[in-house]
Chain A
Amino acid sequence: MSATKASRIGEEIWKTRIDKVNAELVTLTYGTIVAQLCQDYDSNYQDVNKQLDKMGYNIGMRLIEDFLAKSGVGRCANFRETADMIAKVGFKIFLNVAPTVTNWSSDNNQFSLIFDENPLADFVELPDDGRAQDELWFSNILCGVLRGSLEMVQMQIEAHFVSDVLRGDDTTEMRVSLVRYIEDEMPPEEE
């Protein structure tokens, strides 16, 4: 499936099958979550990143079913197709943005998502404490979401941000790497 076709599917689902809310409500709710974590972890931003990733993972595990139900798409033929599906359908129907897929590695196992728009980071300025801009990945929950949801469809991946406009970078970029396809395993025997 081509990227343009994925975009069309994403648009179509967004227009017809998605219950909407004011985007600012989502933005603000996410902001309070991050702010609360910074407070709870005493501005230990590494821990905040970890906790955000964990929350995202929890979301991802549940979100994938929602995604499959709403999109009705089948199995992707390869990781390139998966990337387009994430960017053009997944992000579109849940956050109404469609990041650019780019910077593929030669073995087709790694790509970047460039976020032109990031609704989670609207209205946000990181604390001017000399550390947040070097340590906090504000939107880190998204990495967890990808990790959790792909794991549910037999893909173990690793995702992390490599740049963020909130840190003063010119782009917001997430790097996604395929670790392995998870083989079907027999469920552990029950007593």
Chain B
Amino acid sequence: MAAPRHSAMLSISNAATPQSTSSDRTQAPQQPQSPAPTQGLRVPSNRKTIYDRHLNRSRNAESSRASFAYLFAEMVTYAQRRVTGIQDLEKRLNEQGYPLGLRLLDLLFYRATSTSSSALSSSSTSSSPPNRPLRILTLLHLIHGPLWRLLFQRSADALEHSVSPDTPNEYMITDNDPLVNTYISVPREMSMLNCAAFVAGIIEGVCDGCGFEAKVSTHNQPTEMWPSRTVFLVKFGDSVMEREKVLERAGIK
């Protein structure tokens, strides 16, 4: 399932997989080989390429929320013109987020290891390990904490495991007020639509990139206090659940 999506990726979409990954011992096998710096592509003589800039340079950089809102709105509007229904639209947004997740994963690990006393390791929820997570919970904490902080400058609001015995593979990450939905007004006839499907795609990319095959969907769960409260339902595949059992028995955390 993951394979065809990987191959559909374009090298253009903000390749956050630069040289630094070559020093990353735990390179995921499905990672497309990182592009050789000078092969074919022209580079400026003043060496202003992505390979010459520090990956953490933009780490604390700020931009305006308005710019994000404009871009995201254009992205949704554009996607809407090419789809036939709500599900289709969400799928498309999801697919646009997916490659980001794959790349953000590398960025997260790079930053978690390269800065010792970073914000990544100082949260209540995170146990952010230097290595890729092996167990589901570690992965989910990585998403709930560091990933959310990288994207939205705060942690997600809740992380829960399905209480139903029929669906032990389902986990829920809740955001009370997703930034991506702040400036999207959904018409009444499309009330099922949740544009945070883009974020669901990012989560899916992170899971897949870590070797946890998963499907992530968004669900509107408004409360009186949080009208745009969104639940991201993460469903892990059977292979993941089987491995989880093996790892548990082996006592691997």
Contact = CB atoms under 8 A, between A and B. Distances in A.
B24 interface: no
Given A21-B68, A29-B75, A30-B71, A125 B11 contact: yes
Nearest to A170: B44
A101 B62 CA distance: 23
Contact of A125 (B35, B44, B62, B78): B35
A66 B183 CA distance: 14
Given A25-B68, A25-B152, A170-B44, A31 B12 contact: yes
B100 A32 contact: yes
B217 interface: no
Nearest to A168: B42
Contacts of B44: 165, 168-170
A51 B63 CA distance: 24
B50 A32 contact: no
Interface in A165-181: 165, 167-170
A110 interface: no
B150 A24 contact: yes
Given A55-B74, A122-B58, A124-B50, A34 B65 contact: no
Contact of B96 (A32, A59, A93, A96): A32
Interface string B132-162: 0000000000000000001111000000000
A94 interface: yes
Given A33-B74, A59-B74, A23 B62 contact: yes
B65 A23 contact: no
A168 B62 CA distance: 26
B46 A170 contact: yes
Size class of the contact patch on chain A: 35 or more
A37 to B, nearest CB: 8
Contacts of B68: 21, 25-26, 29
Interface in A18-66: 18-36, 38-40, 51, 55, 58-59, 62-63, 66
B12 A93 contact: no
Contact of B64 (A94, A130, A170): A94
A119 B75 contact: no
A13 to B, nearest CB: 10
Contacts of A18: 64-66
Interface size class of B (residues with CB under 8 A): 35 or more
Nearest to A18: B64
B25 interface: no
A125 B10 CA distance: 10
A59 B58 CA distance: 24
B100 A28 contact: yes
Contacts of A93: 64
A23 B63 contact: yes
Contacts of B65: 18-21
Contacts of A165: 44, 48-49
Given A26-B68, A124-B50, A170-B46, 16 more contacts: A18-B64, A21-B65, A25-B68, A26-B63, A29-B68, A30-B71, A32-B75, A34-B13, A55-B74, A55-B78, A96-B63, A122-B50, A130-B40, A165-B44, A165-B48, A168-B41
20 contacts: A18-B64, A19-B64, A20-B63, A21-B63, A22-B151, A22-B153, A23-B61, A25-B63, A26-B67, A26-B71, A29-B68, A29-B75, A32-B96, A51-B78, A59-B71, A93-B64, A95-B64, A128-B35, A165-B48, A168-B42
Interface of B: 8, 10-16, 35, 39-46, 48-50, 53, 58-59, 61-68, 70-72, 74-75, 77-79, 82, 96-97, 99-100, 104, 150-153, 179
Query: What are the 8 tightest A-B residue pairs by CB atom distance, in nearest-first order?
Result: A168-B42, A31-B14, A35-B13, A23-B61, A19-B65, A23-B63, A123-B14, A20-B62
